[in-house]
Structure 1
């Protein structure tokens, strides 16, 4: 494992982690913040490193949003179950990247309202969320050969169980992303524009030249056991394919190809009114342009019929709003066109 090639490499503090050592280490990175609760203390970012020595390095991040749970559970299982003798490289696991949000069960940090997946590259001298982004970007990304960023829909939405990848940043990396998606074996794969969210870990990975994929593992502020079981089968297969997991470790057989979808600007069906959201379609359902997919019922105007909203494009219902109460600007569903990945 090579040392990070950044000027800030010596500034971050870790407890319990020696990046030059082998074995299983459990520790945390330090985030400094002074307020009524955290004065004269640190905010720990839990971190585990399991290493057999030389070989490729996989960085697995969960808990970027505190109300996304499937990835957090998977990360904790990997920490408990992986042993150095099973590896031909190193696995670094961050199970609660935005630990204040994880403890609060919220999407963003309750300390500074920071959304970690909009905060990269971060700032070492900034607020807590910026510090976490800087710690990962400056001190962990440069050590990694591969990153998987584990997300779910959170409390506000539900996704089809999907691998989620940004296009690019170049053709060789794109082809490696496609291979990783197939190895992981989730039923769906959603493709989005290059650097879709400039402040995300996926964008940070692409900019750093590190192979990075993400997931959207259902959501709704709970745990989907089917998505979790699929990930339990797929993660060993993925790590073995990357050369991190020893070949003699049992792994699932080849996964079927995913159903490829593409999120485009026209995917979102957005409410123009406030009220009670009634879905007219289900996740995974195929719809046509012009088809009614949602209604919003007015709360106070008792004699007013609901407003109906239609899909703008043909495709598959890929994301659905979870809370029933909505307002103007709320995305009700996303419809994703099917994608022939062999022609892109």
Structure 2
């Protein structure tokens, strides 16, 4: 099913947006909820629509997890900077999708503990998080040609700055994903199995047959200036490549950045043996740096035991050759925590 044929939810709770109009419109999605704070009221999900009429429609989403900040900043900049004169078609911007989590600076919603990226397709009368998933998955997704879902590592991890691509779902869409990753030219492109998380926006977009792209931009629950600058430049190039922005006005998005040499992206992949997982609790000490190439059998981290002062720490080694693509951020770990993900190089896609 494509964006042109997918049914749009008729029960969509959206205020201030008239899809027949051109120009800049600022509105919000209505998430119904009643508790001690929202007493028979709504949680507003801010939405900006910038349209010049005919052309592709691109949906950009950030704030799916409230402690992931680079994407939120980029979409706020787009909403303030772009005008309909810059656009050929329509841009839909949702900078704080899980607004309750964004307001609290937490990964999941403090209202219902909902993880928005595990909640698609959502329910119109469900929990607040389920309603947001329905708003995006059933209300916005069927209107668009391209989805860009901007994530970072959040408070619990740091990633190499990368485009995060689900394989598939068809050869044609996969070819377009590869081209998009090359256009954005982040330092890495991390490829993961098809339908990695069935309740994610990436899976929802793939199931709808829409070109769906995601990123992981640093992390650690903060903003890295270098990562943000590279993402700002790459997003401008990607949007120009989709045809939704005129080429020259795309430079507006990078107006604060110095001239950058845009190198080619390095292709890596998450495999079954990528995760290095602790089976003990304690204090995690990383033994490798983010982006470092490691060999199978090489120690990548150790865990120090809290209550056994005479016990040596337990070391954990990589199972495969590859790049240290994800490193856990909080030092305190429990059994089952992933310490490092080692992502092998994808030689068949390297430029």
TM-score of the aligned structures, taking structure 2 as reference length: 0.94
SS for the counterpart of 1:342 is coil
What residue in structure 2 maps to residue 306 of structure 1? 313
Q: How does 1:251-266 map to 2 (within 5 A)?
A: 251=251, 255-266=262-273
Check if 1:339 corresponds to 2:346: yes
The Cα of 1:121 is off from its aligned counterpart by 0.7
What residue in structure 2 maps to residue 127 of structure 1? 127
Check if 1:221 corresponds to 2:221: yes
What residue in structure 2 maps to residue 111 of structure 1? 111
Check if 1:282 corresponds to 2:280: no
- The CA distance in 2 between the partners of 1:340 and 1:141, in whole Å, is 33
Q: How many residues align?
A: 342
Q: How does 1:83-232 map to 2 (within 5 A)?
A: 83-232=83-232
- The CA distance in 2 between the partners of 1:117 and 1:13, in whole Å, is 20
The Cα of 1:36 is off from its aligned counterpart by 1.6
The Cα of 1:14 is off from its aligned counterpart by 1.4
SS for the counterpart of 1:265 is coil
**Structure 1: any 5+ residue segments left out of the alignment?**
none
- Give the RMSD, CA atoms, in angstroms: 1.7
**Structure 2: any 5+ residue segments left out of the alignment?**
255-259
* CA pair 3-171 structure 1, distance change in 2 beyond 3 A: closer
For residues 25-57 of structure 1, what are the alpha-carbon distances to aligned partners after superposition, in whole Å with 9 as ceiling and x for unaligned? 111000001212112210111100000011100
Partner residue of 2:303 out of 296, 304, 315: 296
For residues 40-88 of structure 1, what are the alpha-carbon distances to aligned partners after superposition, in whole Å with 9 as ceiling and x for unaligned? 2101111000000111001000000000000000010000001001111
Which is worse superposed, 100-109 or 33-42? 33-42
Preserved contact between residue 240 and residue 250 of structure 2 (Cα < 8 Å): no
What residue in structure 2 maps to residue 323 of structure 1? 330
The Cα of 1:125 is off from its aligned counterpart by 1.1
The Cα of 1:10 is off from its aligned counterpart by 2.2
The Cα of 1:185 is off from its aligned counterpart by 1.5
SS for the counterpart of 2:300 is strand
